[in-house]
Amino acid sequence: MGLDLRQDLRVSQNLVMTPMLQLGVKLLQFNHLELTEHVEQTLLENPLLEKVENTDGRETTAQERSLEEGIRSVERDRDEQLNGQGEGSYLMNLAEERSEYRAHQHESGGTIHDDLPPIETNLTCGLTLAEHLLSQVGMLELTGVERAVLEAVVHSLDDRGYLADGIDEIVDGSGADATLVELMRQEVMELDPIGCGALDLADCLAHQARHHYPEDELFPELIARHLTNLEKRNYAAIGRDLEIELEDVIEYHKMLQHFDPHPGMAHSIDAPRYILPDVFLVRDDGEWRVLLNESGLPELKVSAAYREILARGSRDDRAYLEEKSRSAEFYIRSIHRRRRTIQLVMESILRLQADFFVAGDPERLRPMVLQDVADDVHAHILIDHYHAMAELADRDPYSEEPEAPGPMHMSTVSRVTSNKFVDTPFGIFELKYFFTAKVRQSSGEDVSAQAIKSRIRDIVKDEDATKPLSDQAIANILKEEGTRVARRTVAKYREALGILPSATRKQLF
């Protein structure tokens, strides 16, 4: 079979994401904080893009304007007192007065604050788990080899305080004997917090039992052998296996509840996640208003300072500046398009979930998917378009009709609502919160999955803690209320809410 080369001519259509189109998609995905950082970075990269003076993305309040006028009034009074000496003379006099005051304070012994250390020395930060444990090693009598192995154990702990790598990994990494590694692991488990270095949950709790109740040999054995039964409140099985009374098993369970299952978490220094709302929803004279968070986002413009360079520059300079000018103009348009799209999507959510925004009740959320918002936005854009056409026809009957806007794709709605939050009088919600699947009721109406989750939470909250409701019992209650939900669905929603099974929720004491 031979191989030959030949040329073929084919016609095909491909979707090509140009750099500018990619930029528009990226800007739509950014939340407020990410967009602020991207704008600052773009200002550094594009010399033709600059901020409009005195704009920081927010309106000046009446109080701020009054304060600024007061400052200007003080400055005018100061200038009159200087008798035309000018600001330079004023600053020089102020510096001289400050120097004389400091010299006087030094001669008179200074103030009570002069002997205090700088404020930087008072700034502290929390110790990591490894740093906290190693700070206690000095109290132990260890050889150099033992100290090295102990440090290897400490640095192998995860955030919970468990030995994530395992003993074999430390043996391979340090070359130490497995017996020595186990001895150093036991030393680490006795450091504060007690239980760090454990292999798993049972090992951690059993060691805390040995530490806090050294005279009780049965307690660690109970934990090691019956931790699963304790979770299920299966006290009878524990009593039969260990040949102890049911009251003793319950008492052991009470004691166990004072232990820390993850001792290392107390020294976790994971950075907290701060939520900065992208949209504010406020009520004004009984009407809802959608306000975008423009804090820290200045108005942008194309710099006019380069026009002279563009007129008299070389061909390469003009080509470079023209390309940067087009990029700056597109960036500004993309920012405005992003604002408009977020505004339209949030207004659509407000219309479609109007019942929820009456009192912020999750049970009043209606089933809604991305396509619902896309269709609603397109419908209202068309209404605005036809109104604009009517006004244009009234002014100029012979004017050319503008092209009708195309539909909004559901992927656009997905990008707008991902990782963005709205601040409402009922709390801060992720925009994705308002999208929920539907469940058919016996009446034929649809109810949102979020509403069912809220109802399950309320049912569990009101249950008798000594006789918790099973998933089937919760499903039966919902059925009596007119909502048919399978037991498996109740279990799935319960797990999503972080609610434990009925056997684990049961309280005997």
496: domain CATH number?
1.10.10.60
Residue 303 sits in the same domain as residue 358: yes
Check residue 408 and give its pLDDT: 82
Q: Is residue 316 part of a domain?
A: yes
Helix/strand/coil for 110: coil
Helix/strand/coil for 368: strand
Q: Is residue 31 part of a domain?
A: no
Residue 428 sits in the same domain as residue 291: yes
Residue 429 sits in the same domain as residue 446: no
β-bridge mates for residue 46, sequence order? none
Residue 318 sits in the same domain as residue 396: yes
- Parent domain of 394: 279-433
Residue 348 sits in the same domain as residue 455: no
pLDDT in tens, 354-366: 888 988 888 888 8
Q: Quick check: 149 pLDDT over 60?
A: yes
Residue 145 sits in the same domain as residue 251: yes
Q: Quick check: 390 pLDDT over 60?
A: yes
Q: Token digits for 373?
A: 């918002």
What's 275's DSSP letter? P
Q: Quick check: 114 pLDDT over 70?
A: no
Residue 283 sits in the same domain as residue 400: yes
Q: Is residue 48 part of a domain?
A: no
Q: Which of 378, 379, 423, 157 is nearest to 267 (CA)?
A: 157
Mean pLDDT of the chain: 78
Mean pLDDT of the 314-334 span: 84
Residue 321 sits in the same domain as residue 415: yes
Positive or negative, the CA dihedral 62, 64, 67, 73 is negative
Residue 260 sits in the same domain as residue 237: yes
Residue 303 pLDDT grade (very low, low, confident, very high; cuts 50, 70, 90)? confident
Q: What b/e sequence results for 99-108 when a residue is b if at least 16 CB atoms lie within 10 Å of its CB, and e otherwise?
A: eeeeeeeeee
Structural domain ending residue among the three candidates 433, 455, 478: 433
Mean pLDDT of the 441-462 span: 78
Check residue 360 and give its pLDDT: 85
Structural domain ending residue among the three candidates 214, 242, 267: 267
Residue 136 near residue 267, CB atoms below 8 Å = no
Q: Quick check: 269 pLDDT over 90?
A: no
Phi and psi for 390 in degrees, rounded to 5? -65, -45
Q: Quick check: 281 pLDDT over 50?
A: yes
Residue 231 sits in the same domain as residue 143: yes
Q: Which amino acid is at 459?
A: I
Mean pLDDT of the 385-414 span: 67
Mean pLDDT of the 106-121 span: 48
Residue 314 sits in the same domain as residue 410: yes
Residue 205 pLDDT grade (very low, low, confident, very high; cuts 50, 70, 90)? very high
Q: Is residue 47 part of a domain?
A: no
For the chain, how many structural domains are there in total?
3
Mean pLDDT of the 151-159 span: 87
Residue 217 sits in the same domain as residue 255: yes
Q: Is residue 13 part of a domain?
A: no
